[in-house]
């Protein structure tokens, strides 16, 4: 999830994808920018997304997003809420399950 503490522009899905690729490129160069990352879902209202990346690229993606501090000259931060090797596991949180 992306957080904008001082408001600011909310990117659409394509701008968000470009932001992710740019963050990878800034930290890891051309090799990082070439990492295949898919935006499976993106909610502009909450600035939340589900990203898919190969397991060997997880550390590169995570580090690039958490070290990114600005978007369009405004402070921003990414917060990784959950990771999983299985897409189905991201559909719900077992800790919030009510029986």
Q: What is the DSSP string of 79-92?
A: ------SSGGGGG-
Q: What pTM does this model have?
A: 0.78
Query: What CATH class does 13-91 carry?
Result: alpha beta
Tell me: the pLDDT tens digits for 23-36? 999 999 999 999 99
pLDDT tier at 92 (50, 70, 90 boundaries)? low
Q: How far is CA 64 from the centre of its chain?
A: 9
The pLDDT, as a whole number, for residue 83 is 87
Cβ atoms of residues 1 and 79 within 8 Å? yes
- For the chain, which residues make up each domain, given as ranges? 13-91
> What's the whole-number average pLDDT of the chain?
85
pLDDT tier at 5 (50, 70, 90 boundaries)? low
20 vs 75, residue with greater confidence = 20
The answer on pLDDT for 99 being more than 70 is no
């Amino acid at each position: 999830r992306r957080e904008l503490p001082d408001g600011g522009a909310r990117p659409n899905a394509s701008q968000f994808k470009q932001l992710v690729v740019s963050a990878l490129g800034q930290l890891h160069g051309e090799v990082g920018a070439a990492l295949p990352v898919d935006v499976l879902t993106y909610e502009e209202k909450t600035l939340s997304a589900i990203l898919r990346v190969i397991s060997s690229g997880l550390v590169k993606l995570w580090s690039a997003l958490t070290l990114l501090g600005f978007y369009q000259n405004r402070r921003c931060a990414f917060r990784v809420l959950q990771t999983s090797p299985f897409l189905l596991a991201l559909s719900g949180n077992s800790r919030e399950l009510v029986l």
